[in-house]
Structure 1
């Protein structure tokens, strides 16, 4: 009988502990996230803008690790280790709000066209920070192949650099060069030549427009030679 009573007490204690664990609810987290084929860095160049710009905004995708709430919540992001860009000189990380009922949000990173941008590239490691509503959320693979990340790398410059999407459009526009890209901006007034921005029809039709514009340029000025000594073609 004594052993039976001891077993009952032990079982009751375990049951109480289990109920406490099941009833416990921790605070919600938030994290950056990417699709299955996206990469954890973003490159931005002020040289891509058809008109000079003093500042611009880059949006980083974030999502809640937890549930939705019926009130807005505050998001905080900080500059992490490895950052070479200067706060309030090259970038601003504003406090941002997740709308009521939302589970995802685009976080705005404000980039500033400082004088040093013309011949330098700065790195900003954007890292999830704790706010009054969120802690940094769990990272790793999610359902559907997407990933949660605690940080994102943003590269900022005033030079023309190869966009991360260029390998996806190289078959349409050919080998990347700064001279070619500047010509594309001048002809089209566009600065984003990705599949997402142009669509299938744009990817097929824009090279024809660029070839015709290049023929006119060559007729007036001779071949367009890029920074590598190669003739620009489309």
Structure 2
């Protein structure tokens, strides 16, 4: 006769079940989810420079005294059913501009049930910007709504599963009313570079005087402020003609580096 083993009543089986039960209870306590939201400048959404921008009122119309820069913001963690303030502040140690005089950080919020927002910084045209360039260094700091500190953000683009680049959390605005080289003049696919060639301050001033255009957009190509390709072809023809007339009257136009101003042959 075969012996029948009732494993349900075996002390070894009961001991095993007890141990497993304790382990599952312990693990469940360790795996309790705690929402700890953070917030950061979403540099993946930026088209041009992702760590800084050079802003010059000299490239705008003479009547413009205020302008606003918008930074894309993103949160980590879960959405909330209430609005939350974006804790954007200025780093005083890295800033030479004066709050209230040269700029103002406007109140911005992450709306209820949203993962993204925009932060607004108002820039002000003052007389001293004609002779100097000031710095505004912005950072997001943790607050009651967003206690998690996010030191760096990584690009969504990867290579072999690893992030291709890492961005610093701060953002620098270089503010002036002097003529500056556009940040994207030498960028990939730039129409600045294609139609106008190498940059110089003398050349850029000549371009603005001849075309009458002070707002160019990213790479003189992207965004609502950029000229169309047809407009750029007209500008190019005007510039080549105007430069020829200048040279007939005054000889070669020499820029601030001692080089002759020329335009590429297209």
TM-score category, normalised to shorter length: 0.7 to 0.9
The superposition leaves residues 151-205 of structure 1 with CA deviations (integer Å, 9 ceiling, x where unpaired) of 1111111221212101133232112122222222232323225221235555555
Pick one of 29, 34, 59 that aligns with 2:38.
Answer: 29
1:126 lines up with 2:142 in the alignment: no
Matched, 1:143 2:152: no
CA distance in 1, matches of 2:70, 2:251: 41
Residue aligning to 1:47? 58
SS at match of 1:198: coil
In 2: Cα distance, 1:19 partner to 1:56 partner: 48
Which of 173, 195, 216 aligns to 1:192? It is 216
The answer as to 2:126 corresponding to 1:114 is yes
Q: Does 1:161 align with 2:161?
A: no
Q: Give the structure-1-normalised TM-score.
A: 0.79
Cα distance between partner residues in 1 of 2:147 and 2:244: 56
Higher strand proportion (structure 1 or 2): 1
Give the number of the structure whose alpha-carbon radius of gyration is greater: 2
Gaps of 5+ in 2: 1-10, 159-164
The alignment status of 1:227 with 2:256, answered yes or no, reads yes
State the distance in 2 between where 1:206 and 1:66 align: 49
Give the Cα separation in 2 of the matches to 1:136 and 1:90: 31
Distance 2:60 2:74 in 1: 29
Match of 1:77 in 2: 88
Q: Does 1:182 align with 2:191?
A: no
Take 2:66 and 2:27, find their aligned partners in 1: how far apart are those partners? 59
Name the structure where helix makes up a greater proportion of residues: 1
SS at match of 1:184: helix
The verdict on how the C-alpha distance between 1:222 and 1:69 changes in structure 2, with shifts beyond 3 A counting, is farther
Task: Return the offset for 1:40.
Answer: 0.9
Partner residue of 2:6? Answer: none
What are structure 1's unaligned runs of at least 5 residues?
A: none
Aligned positions, number: 231
TM-score for the superposition, normalised by structure 2: 0.71
Q: For residues 58 and 29 of structure 1, what CA distance do their matches in structure 2 show?
A: 22
Shift of 1:137: 5.8
Structure 2 residue 85 is matched with structure 1 residue 62 = no
